[in-house]
Amino acid sequence: MAEGLILVVLQKIATTLGGAALSVIKSKLGKGANILLEAENSMKEIESEFEIMQAYISQADPYSESNKILKPWLKNVRKIASEVEDIIDEYAFLLGKLDNAGYLAKKFHHSRYITAWSDISSQLKQVQARLQNLTVLKDRYGITVVGPGGGSSSHNNSRKNYLSESSYLNDDGDGVMVGNEDEVKKLTECIDGAGADRAVISIWGMGGSGKTILARGIYRKREVRKNFQCCAWITVSLNYQVEDLLNKLIKELHIQDVPDATDSTHLVARIQNHLKDKRYLVVLDDMWNRESWLFFDRVFVKNLYGSRVIVTTRTEAVASIAELNHTIRIGLLSQGESWKLFGRKAFSKIGKEEPTCPQGLVQWANKILERCQGLPLAIVAIGSLLSYREMEEQEWRLFYNQLNWQLTNNPELNFVSSVLKLSLNDLPSHLRNCFLYCGLFPKDYQIRRKCLIRLWVAEGFVEDRGTEITLEEVAEEYLKELTRRSLFQVMERNEFSRPRRFQVHDLVREMTLAISRNERFGHVSDQPDVTDIGDVGKRVSVHSGGQIYQPGTPSLRTFQMP
């Protein structure tokens, strides 16, 4: 949303107003500094307005993009923030020229400088008026955001849609898993052989990689369940209500005679009392933060009966709650495994146990699997949809050529993007800008760590944390965090096992590009058609075969040819 851009603007305002040069220049200019003071005061008021807006927007429900009233309001916030960024850059540029100029007062009163400073002051006042008008519009039309834990019906409906989409693979008809044999073996060993203590086992990987399928496959096995006196499966998800999860847990555990509207403290006590003398198996599916575990750790009593808690997550931070050697990382499928899974879905009507692809469709099946890049969620969804289409080359070619559109607009496929987008929705604003930037690199491009860090710093995405730590070191932390969130694939490491090159999954990249276009964050030109970049945003990346036109674009700040 607009929060990331506001953060960049706030950082620039703080840097500009906090510079020592400004105070020196004002002291030397005397009365001539009035125009600088006007601009400075306007910037401070804009800073205050943006700080409140940022706090307001930060409460937004991750699913609020469906809010038709909020979307145009946020679009206007983004537009104003983008303009303010340009004004601040111009302000800093002029300030720098004054700081370096001899005969400061004489230079300042040159007509060219007076006009430039007057323009900046005037533009800042116009921005103030527009920001105030946005506040009036927000109040007039009752524009609201729903924060985590909010209870509006629209929020709950959106949340339910995301939950059902993210669990699409759970109800796979044949329940057969392809690949990950080593992970299945390790999970089974962790359940059977971890001793009498309650053990926590984590399964982690990127969205759609098959974490839930792995856990579900073991959870449903009769030979596993028979060793436990009670079992429960709970989907935690990004936003959740504690009471809702506790009530679901009580139903799963078949705890009787619990009154409705019971507070969470009483519910926890009932669950603890029920579990204290039993060997239990509980799966916490789709957990997003460690704080959730602090609560559940208290719920699931340590009773020395060999109980097991399995957690699935996209983040390494959550995965680290598991006991030593009880963390299972899920990777992407190999080419052979991808073909096997795709064949079972796309050609299921052929009737064979391991159906083969008709010869005329092999080319297009290969192209589709190349786009899926081993992601089970995408392979199953696309394969299932194609199973209902004619097995004709023209039909599959047409489908492949509009695959991007299908993933966004076809109701049978757009949940794939929704599942992947959840990881982006969970990013704090400073990481969101950094990750959107990575989408500007070409498909399958291996991004060098040092290069990416320098680019982030140059773009102003990296927070200044004082003299004790450099911007590059902060950027390094950002990179580690994005990797821990399963948004980057490490493609190469150096001799010290430090990541050297990264890659973004193709479907995730397409998702970031769609967001970048919508928010005017950046634009990629990778087609032979000439692209007019007059209104595509701040950043343009021209890939092999791409062409652009429009050399005079004042808002353009980054031009890439990777």
Enter the tokens of residue 549: 């036109």
**90 residue type, one letter:** E
Q: How many CB atoms lie within 10 A of CB 156?
A: 17
- Let me know: does 203 contact 312? Beta carbons within 8 Å: yes
With 0-12 / 13-18 / 19 or more C-beta atoms within 10 angstroms meaning exposed / middle / buried, residue 522 is buried
Q: Tokens 């020229």 correspond to what residue?
A: 97
- Let me know: does 234 contact 285? Beta carbons within 8 Å: yes
d(CA 484, CA 487) in angstroms, rounded, equals 8
d(CA 114, CA 18) in angstroms, rounded, equals 23
What pTM did the predictor assign?
Answer: 0.79
> What is the DSSP secondary-structure string of 414-467?
HHHHHHHHHHHHTS-HHHHHHHHHHTTSPTT--EEHHHHHHHHHHHT-S----T
Q: Are strands 523-525 and 308-313 parallel, antiparallel or unpaired?
A: unpaired
pLDDT at 425: 83
> What is the DSSP secondary-structure string of 315-345?
-HHHHTTSPTT-EEE--PPPHHHHHHHHHHH
Enter the tokens of residue 548: 């652009």
Kindly provide the residue ranges of all beta strands, DSSP E only, lying in 409-538, ordered along the sequence: 447-448, 489-493, 499-503, 523-525, 530-532
> What is the DSSP secondary-structure string of 73-133?
HHHHHHHHHHHHHHHHHHHHHHHHHHHH-SSHHHHHTSHHHHHHHHHHHHHHHHHHHHHHH
Element (H, E) at 217: helix 211-219
| Residue numbers of the chain with a pLDDT score lower than 50 | 103, 148-168, 170-175
Q: How many CB atoms lie within 10 A of CB 469?
A: 13
- Let me know: does 554 contact 543? Beta carbons within 8 Å: no
With 0-12 / 13-18 / 19 or more C-beta atoms within 10 angstroms meaning exposed / middle / buried, residue 113 is middle
Element (H, E) at 181: helix 181-193
Q: Domain segments of the chain: what residues?
A: 3-140, 165-329, 335-417, 422-560
| Backbone φ and ψ of 493, nearest 5° | -120, 155
DSSP 8-state symbol, 262: -
Report, at the CATH architecture level, how domain 422-560 is classified: Orthogonal Bundle (1.10)
Enter the tokens of residue 391: 């097995």
Q: How many CB atoms lie within 10 A of CB 478?
A: 21
d(CA 221, CA 243) in angstroms, rounded, equals 29
pLDDT at 116: 83
pLDDT at 410: 80
Q: Do domains 165-329 and 422-560 have the same CATH topology?
A: no
Enter the tokens of residue 358: 């008709």
Three-state secondary-structure class, residue 379: helix
Q: Tokens 């039993």 correspond to what residue?
A: 278
d(CA 456, CA 438) in angstroms, rounded, equals 10
Q: What angle do CA 310, 311, 316 make, to 5 degrees?
A: 135
d(CA 425, CA 437) in angstroms, rounded, equals 15
Give Cβ neighbours of residue 6 (< 8 Å, ≥ 6 apart): 50, 53, 54, 57, 77, 81, 429
- Let me know: does 128 contact 40? Beta carbons within 8 Å: no
Write the CATH number of the domain with boundaries 165-329. Answer: 3.40.50.300
CA distance to 236, 312, 317, 496, per residue, from 480 (Å):
25, 20, 11, 15
Q: What angle do CA 243, 247, 251 make, to 5 degrees?
A: 170
CA distance to 127, 411, 548, per residue, from 561 (Å):
33, 35, 12
pLDDT at 501: 95
pLDDT at 449: 95
Give Cβ neighbours of residue 293 (< 8 Å, ≥ 6 apart): 287, 311, 318, 321
Edge-to-edge strands of the sheet including 523-525? 523-525, 539-542, 558-560
- Let me know: does 293 contact 321? Beta carbons within 8 Å: yes
**552 residue type, one letter:** G
pLDDT at 166: 42
